[in-house]
Amino acid sequence: MIKTPKAIIVIFGATGDLAKRKLFPSIYRLYQSGKISEDFAVVGVARRPWSNEIFRENVKRSIHHFPDDNGGQDIFASHFYYHPFDVTNISSYHELKSLLSTLDDRYNTAGNRIFYLAMAPDFFGTIATNLKSERLTTTEGWIRLIIEKPFGHDYDSAQELNNQLRMAFTEEQIYRIDHYLGKEMVQNIKVIRFANAIFEPLWNSQYIANVQITSSEILGVEDRGRYYESSGTLRDMVQNHMLQMVALLAMDPPIKLTAEEIRSEKIKIFRALKPLSNNEVEQYFVRGQYGPGIINENKVVGYKEENDVDPASNTETFVAGKLMIENFRWTGVPFYIRTGKRMQEKSTEIVIQFKDLPMNLYLGQERKTHPNLLVIHIQPDEGITLHLNAQKTNSSVTSTPIRLSYCNNCADKMNTPEAYEILLYDCMRGDSTNFAHWEEVALSWKFVDVISNVWSNNKATEFPNYESGSMGPKESDVLLEKDDFHWWPTITTRFKGESDNENI
């Protein structure tokens, strides 16, 4: 039986949006479910001159929508403490060290500490260095550091940041969060592949025609215009979330289900990605920027009209790409990715398209059959759908597409664990399987930097090139049409009331 973790969680940036929307609710869910015991404390660290009482009221507001049994939220909030902090002032670290020592004794946490940097990355290196020099990392228990993305803005800056962190923490102590890796159906990719005899033998270039990964959002940049101007979709989505999903889909079976062995197989995929020359970037990747359009029957502005966005901005809000993996398993199989803002719907899906039979006796009127597809629904619904061909009663000797669907969260969405809940618990247990290792980060930046540099040097003249409410620029369709494929549409209503013979 796994022991209930006990630790002090120190959240730098505890007055920010991430802490309020994700971290406090996730810790509360863990507390409610008994995954963490009464032996825990949370110390909020930020510049605002708050008191413990103000901080606790803020925590309770962030979890008020959860059921509160017998005043449980008040008891939970009593474990939270606030410490006004200046990251550049050494005396702040001395005061924090004294507080942590007091809380270690009060909550019997044995010196176990998680330092969560939920703030802008400008001070990551400074905080790590001072935590080490002022001996906040010297305890009898374990020490872990959680880092939010962005982890650098290119390979050089990421390496510089990593060197700073490694002066204070070992690689085994650093947990780089990619919240996509905490999503249940992303974690299910390994299970679908390696626990089913009907899939793994077919999971190669002999049977698979192409793989498609789509992550689309309805929202625009909202209040993140300043951040997005320095990032763009390539850095914000492709370098981390999209490439991580590619690695999970393409990796070979690990010899054991340990963090080290799974990571080793993922790194092999990053190394096997076909490197692009400057001249090949436009052949393999498409960029876009949304213009005005209609979302849910409401008019919305284009990216250049958003707050804190340069009216002449060349920042991409959409990326589609074709990735080739140069190894024995995947030679010749394109992995297509697309992701963007202000698109037709909020959806993240993976489509595995299997090759057609060399001779099919059950051709329809158009002399072709619907291909077999395995669709992994990541969000908003979680599940899998297998598209097959079958004969309907009283029909002619032709095949009809049918769907076999399983929904992972349809029955009880309220109690489905959120990604941060899963990842926080993993970190407390010392399981780094679903966190990004430095070598993964480095290789993904090296791949993306080539694309980024070409786009920076060749300004797009056609922006905006897709309407809000569409599925991106037409050039992304052409990307697949050149290979005689097309994007499979995402389907908003996947599991409830759908027809089992509906064509897509």
Q: Phi then psi for 40, rounded to 5 degrees?
A: -155, 160
Residue 160 in tokens: 């510089």
Rounded Cα–Cα distance for residues 90 and 466 (Å): 50
Query: Please, are residues 263 and 251 in contact by the beta-carbon 8 Å criterion?
Result: no
Residue 299, C-beta contacts closer than 8 angstroms, at least 6 positions apart? 292, 293
Q: Is 241 noted as a catalytic residue in this protein? A: yes
Integer Rg of the chain from CA: 24
**DSSP string covering 219-260, please?**
---TT-HHHHHHHHHIIIIIIIIIHHHHHHHHPPPPSSSSHH
Task: Mark 367-398 as b/e (b = at least 16 C-beta within 10 Å).
Answer: eebbbbbbbbbbbebbbbbbbebeeeeeeeee
Query: Please, are residues 234 and 319 in contact by the beta-carbon 8 Å criterion?
Result: yes
Query: Please, are residues 70 and 37 in contact by the beta-carbon 8 Å criterion?
Result: no
Of 79, 83, 241, 387, catalytic: 241
Residue 220, C-beta contacts closer than 8 angstroms, at least 6 positions apart? 290, 300, 301, 303, 306, 317, 341, 342, 468
Nearest Cα to Cα of residue 441 among 231, 180, 241 = 241
| Catalytic residue positions, numbered | 241
